[in-house]
Chains A and B, each alone.
Chain A
Amino acid sequence: MLLQTAASVAGHTSVLSGTIAEWMWLLPVLPLVGFVINGLLSLNSAHFGPRDPNTPGHHPHSEGAAEAPAISHAEEAGAAGDDHHAVKRHRWAGVTSIVGPGVLILSFVLAAMIWWQMVQAHPAAPFIQRYFSWMPVGDLQIDAAFQLDQLSMVMILVITGVGALIHIFSIGYMRDDPGYPRFFAYLNLFVFFMLVLVMGANYPVVFVGWEGVGLCSYLLIGFWFNDKANADAGKKAFVVNRIGDVGFLIAMFMLFANIGALDFVTVNARAIELGAGSALVTTICLFFFLGCTGKSAQIPLYIWLPDAMAGPTPVSALIHAATMVTAGVYLIARSAALFSLSPIASLTVAVVGAVTAIFAATIGLKQWDIKKVLAYSTISQLGYMFVGVGVGAYVSGMFHLVTHAFFKALLFLGSGSVIHAMHAAYHHTGSHEDAQDMRNMGGLKRYLPVTCALMWIATLAISGIPPFAGFFSKDEVLGSVFARAQGSTLASASWLGIPGNALLYAIYAIGLAAAFITAVYMTRMMLYTFHGPVRTGVEEEKHLHEAPLSMTGPLAILGILTVLGGWLNLPEVLTDLVPIGPSESLAKWLDPVVGSATRQVAGTATHVTASTEEMLIGAAVIIAVAGIVLAFARLKPETLTPKREAVPEHGFERIVAEKYYVDEGVEKGIVRPVYAVSRGFLWRLIDNGLIDGFFVNGSAALARGFGWVGSRIQTGNVGIYAWVFIAGVLAMLGAFTLR
């Protein structure tokens, strides 16, 4: 194959050359093939998307009038809920069910094989494959190249592994949707771009993946685009992300202007030339971080993620929880060499992460939509990851990224299973109740025992209860914040006049508080969803049922991962106490990539004493248990009323329930002024007045004027023509004579 021959030219120095790792180009290509196949199937089909309820008989993609009544009935029943079940399955659904998840499973198997090769080879340098020269412009030499190192391997395994599980789940969840192949086409395309993002060997290739996943996110949020709210949510995500992308671009420009290269190897080697702690490296890092706030939904650009829940639930699990939104964390870990040089930028990352963590957590306390709770929870947990990479503990950030991918995917897919059951129940009775509102749920553990048990595991994990994955990763993030408050470069720096060590202690305290709130809102969600009386409705209750095996299977695997995920990086203090496994495996694994940057930031603050660490762990566990106990003690699912009878909150509770009115503030403070300026100034004055009035119509008037003058000369009188003619001849003769 062409790619293969091109690939074998490069990478001759790595220990991985000549091994299975040479096939790494196949990792993204497999999902791309899946995209092409599913995309063609979706084009070939009669159903392009959800049908437009306004034109039941005249839909351009309608297969025929015969099925119209059945579909319109389904539309009617599905309008209130998350997914729009049409009665008729797509005719190629069977092929899609094999191809869509199949390519992901193949990709994951290949990734696992390459991972095993890497475990044995221990490559110290990244394994780079150059395919072709992409942008050779003067000094700017950008290759289309992939690189494989320990960091990208972690991401690849998460993306293909969790991705494959979510694809399998989607078979059950989306099977009855008329846009089934289109859904898998987008999902496959997303995985392709995500793999490009994490495998890119230079910033521009990463940026291609970065934009590509943004596109797929947009397509999938607006998957049911007939509902304007869904289309608007997609648009919002796209626009908000563009703001961050400008930051990414500017950072790349500055990097090229000052280093002259954009590939990671060169940048990492020459980052020190920018000057440790210089304003330049801080600016570059902050612009990169602006991109991260957009993609990873941090303050101030987090506002798109809650709206993104308009997409199908597997999309929320894959894109808006497990993979795409963690791209910002990956980017910072990837740019660790830059961030470690700038304590101010690093502290900014940590502060924004901590503030986002607690801010989003409080909003999560008062949400009723089960997916909105999880959305704010995701924002909050992403905040933790940024705290981790912000304080220079890149391993802890990545660790939390991986465990979060497990338990948050589990939570989202579990909520998908709940919504699936709720929706089917409402579908049976033709009710228009909200299938995602927790006030309409309650007592579901009787009908969804598997989902309930697995979601409880994930809840305990996210709350930070040992021995689940979230406990280890969250504890490591908080522990490294605490450790770096003394002796690190961050502690001695000052951020906006605040001394670094005080700031780090404050971040630690905020992190603990956010952990407490996390435990509360997650327990609240579980209590209201699965416990207490059933509020779904007497008739609907009979139709509640557990999800099929294709959905509970992935849930169970994610449950196992959620339980065992902590073993990736057991703290030394624990393995010294009880030898349950190797300690710090992930830290050792990632050491070739982020080790030196971590040590650069940490300085002398490598470790706190064992007793302090035990105390920190104890505090974190007590906080988490306290949160759960508080939620159990204070929340009474028995007294909760269904949504249609609910009374609105008052006072501060209302402010929280309304998400601190941030969306309204953005609407009033940014969107409306932009509209006003666009209408009043740009449209009326500049476009209508200057462009249309002066340039367009003006040039037309000028031409018409010249034409009028010219037409006056054309009298039609031959005598005058002759006079002019003679005059011209004489003038020319005269000119020749006098020359």
Chain B
Amino acid sequence: MLAESLALTAALFIIGVVGVLVHRNAIIIFMCVELMLTAVNLTFVAFSRYYGAAGQVFVVFVMTVSAAEAAVGLAIIIGIFRHRQTVDLKDINLLRG
């Protein structure tokens, strides 16, 4: 049962990673990051079945933090959009050396 659960979460995580890597739209990348967080949350839940409730407590923590992070991240994206009329990461390279 655990193996299947882990396979599912790994698949979800990889989808998130690949999404982050291949997409250029900041919103989509942001969603992929959320997907990765969700995959990790699922892993915690799966393990908590065998190792006690600590995993489920962590999931609550992670969701709290990710909610805050989502708010901040979206605010930044909106800020960028207001300035540059785009959320395409190709055009956002202010930190170029």
Contact = CB atoms under 8 A, between A and B. Distances in A.
Given A723-B21, A726-B21, A718 B97 contact: no
B96 A719 contact: no
A717 B90 contact: yes
A216 B19 CA distance: 84
Nearest to B20: A722
A713 B97 contact: yes
Given A717-B89, A717-B90, A722 B21 contact: yes
Interface string A695-716: 0000000000000001111111
A723 B21 CA distance: 6
A718 B94 CA distance: 10
B29 to A, nearest CB: 8
A717 B88 CA distance: 11
B97 A711 contact: yes
B95 interface: yes
A716 B20 contact: no
A716 B89 CA distance: 10
Contact of A719 (B17, B24, B94, B97): B24
A718 B89 contact: yes
Contact of B89 (A713, A719, A726): A719
Interface string B65-91: 000000000000000000000000110
Contacts of B89: 717-719
Contacts of A719: 21, 24, 89-90
Majority SS at the chain B contact face: loop
Contacts of B96: 714-717
B92 A718 contact: yes
Nearest to B94: A716
Given A719-B89, A726-B17, A714 B95 contact: yes
Contacts of A716: 92-97
A719 B97 CA distance: 15
Nearest to A715: B96
Contacts of A715: 93, 96-97
Interface residues of A, number: 13
Contacts of B97: 710-716
B72 to A, nearest CB: 16
Nearest to A712: B97
A705 to B, nearest CB: 14
A722 B30 CA distance: 13
Majority SS at the chain A contact face: helix
Contacts of A722: 20-21
A628 B17 CA distance: 114
Contacts of A710: 97
A723 B23 CA distance: 12
Nearest to A713: B97
A711 B95 CA distance: 10
Contacts of A713: 97
Nearest to A718: B89
A718 B26 CA distance: 10
Contacts of A711: 97
A510 to B, nearest CB: 82
Contacts of A723: 21
A487 to B, nearest CB: 91
A714 B96 CA distance: 5
Contacts of B92: 716, 718
Contacts of B24: 719
A722 B24 CA distance: 11
A69 to B, nearest CB: 68
Contacts of A726: 17, 21
Nearest to A719: B89
A716 B95 CA distance: 4
Interface string A723-739: 10010000000000000
B28 to A, nearest CB: 12
Interface string A279-299: 000000000000000000000
A265 to B, nearest CB: 72
A326 to B, nearest CB: 73
A726 B14 CA distance: 11
B12 to A, nearest CB: 16
B18 to A, nearest CB: 9
A714 to B, nearest CB: 3
Nearest to B18: A726
Nearest to B95: A716
Contacts of A717: 89-90, 93, 96
Interface string A132-163: 00000000000000000000000000000000
Nearest to A714: B97
Contacts of B21: 719, 722-723, 726
A722 B96 CA distance: 15
Contacts of A718: 89, 92
A116 to B, nearest CB: 86
Interface string A573-614: 000000000000000000000000000000000000000000
Nearest to A721: B95
B35 to A, nearest CB: 15
Interface of A: 710-719, 722-723, 726
29 contacts: A710-B97, A711-B97, A712-B97, A713-B97, A714-B95, A714-B96, A714-B97, A715-B93, A715-B97, A716-B92, A716-B93, A716-B94, A716-B95, A716-B96, A716-B97, A717-B89, A717-B90, A717-B96, A718-B89, A718-B92, A719-B21, A719-B24, A719-B89, A719-B90, A722-B20, A722-B21, A723-B21, A726-B17, A726-B21
Given A710-B97, A713-B97, A722-B20, 11 more contacts: A711-B97, A712-B97, A716-B93, A716-B94, A716-B97, A717-B89, A718-B89, A718-B92, A719-B24, A722-B21, A723-B21
The 7 closest A-B pairs by CB, nearest first: A714-B97, A716-B93, A716-B96, A711-B97, A716-B95, A718-B89, A717-B93
